[in-house]
Amino acid sequence: MDTASTSTSTYPPNLPIPVDLFVSKKHPGLTRGEIGFADSSGDVVFRVLKRHSSSSSSSKKLLVDSSGNSLVSVYHQHKGQWLGFKGDSNEEKDLIFRVKRTLNTLTRTEFDVFLVGENRGDTASEFQMKGCPFQKSCTIYRNDLIVAETGLMYKLRQIFVRRNKFRLTIFPGSVDTAFIVALVVIFFD
How many CA within 13 A on the CB side of residue 100? 9
User: Which residues on neighbouring strands pair with residue 23, listed in sequence order?
Assistant: 37, 166
Give the domains, in start order, of the chain with CATH numbers: 18-187 (2.40.160.200)
Quote the pLDDT of residue 153. 80
| pLDDT on residue 141 | 97
- Predicted pLDDT at 118: 65
Q: Which residues in the chain show pLDDT less than 70?
A: 1-15, 52-58, 118-123, 156, 158-161
Give the pLDDT score at 101.
97
Q: Which residues neighbour 39 within 8 Å (Cβ) at sequence distance 6 or greater?
A: 11, 12, 19, 20, 21, 22, 45
pLDDT in tens, 131-147: 999 999 999 999 999 99
pTM assigned to the model: 0.86
The 8-class DSSP code of residue 110 comes to: E
pLDDT of residue 83: 96
- Structural contact between residues 74 and 182, judged by C-beta atoms closer than 8 angstroms: yes
Taking a C-beta distance cutoff of 8 angstroms, is the pair 65, 82 a contact? no
